[in-house]
Amino acid sequence: MHMRASTGFFKGLTLILPLLGPVSVFGQSTPTPVPCAVHPATAVEQKQIFNTFVEEFYVKRDIPRAFTHIAADYIQHNPSELDGITSSFDFLDPIFSNTSVTVQILHRVFEAPYGWLHYRVDGLLEEPTAILDLFRFNGTCVQEHWDVIQERPVNATNPHPLF
């Protein structure tokens, strides 16, 4: 069930992304932001940077600004994206800049050097989607990312809500 839900999400992205391309909602190409320069940081500083990144990316939806917290040699574990800031930016900016796609943060935790975020996405696929993003920090920068993605099944067996 989990594999099918994840596959459905990626199939949906495969259909949507070619239509959007690496453009903003205003139809102009958005340049890749200058990557984060790695500097030493305390756990407290990393938590502040993580919270700023989350606010810029998921709440304000200012993807170019959020990506200034990502290292140039960013490691991406999502099977639909390549490593590096440019690949992830080109993949995510059209999705998260789209105002018809809504994001609701459900849980947020930071325990240096890792921060994770559990959230709900509506408007991307037919059914709401649960996503968990896990980020690893290297000093002041987001260095690595993993995610788990699950679309809500139409006829779920389990009576507990997905969200």
CATH number of the CATH domain containing 123: 3.10.450.50
**0.85 cut: is pTM over it?**
no
Domain assignment present for 81: yes
| pLDDT at residue 111 tops 50 | yes
pLDDT tens track for 17-63: 433 444 434 444 578 899 999 999 999 999 999 999 999 999 999 99
List Cβ<8 Å contacts ≥24 apart for 159-162: 162/128, 162/130
Domain assignment present for 147: yes
Range of the domain at 101: 2-18+41-151
Provide the 8-state DSSP code for 68.
G
Please choose, from the candidates 124, 11, 33, the residue with its C-alpha nearest in 3D space to the C-alpha of residue 84. Answer: 33
Domain assignment present for 34: no
Domain assignment present for 79: yes
* C-alpha separations of 67 from 40, 50, 85, 153, 157 in Å: 19, 12, 8, 32, 39
Domain assignment present for 28: no
Domain assignment present for 103: yes
The set of residues, in sequence order, having a beta carbon less than 8 Å from that of 26 and lying 6+ positions away, is none
Q: Give Dmax over CA atoms of the chain in angstroms.
A: 49
Are residues 110 and 46 in contact, defined by beta-carbon separation less than 8 angstroms? yes
Helix, strand and coil in the chain, % to nearest 5: 35, 30, 35
Between 35 and 162, the higher pLDDT residue = 35
Percent of the residues in the chain that have a pLDDT greater than 70, as a whole number: 82
Number of domains composing the chain: 1
Rounded to the nearest 10°, the torsion over CA 73, 95, 81, 130 is 110
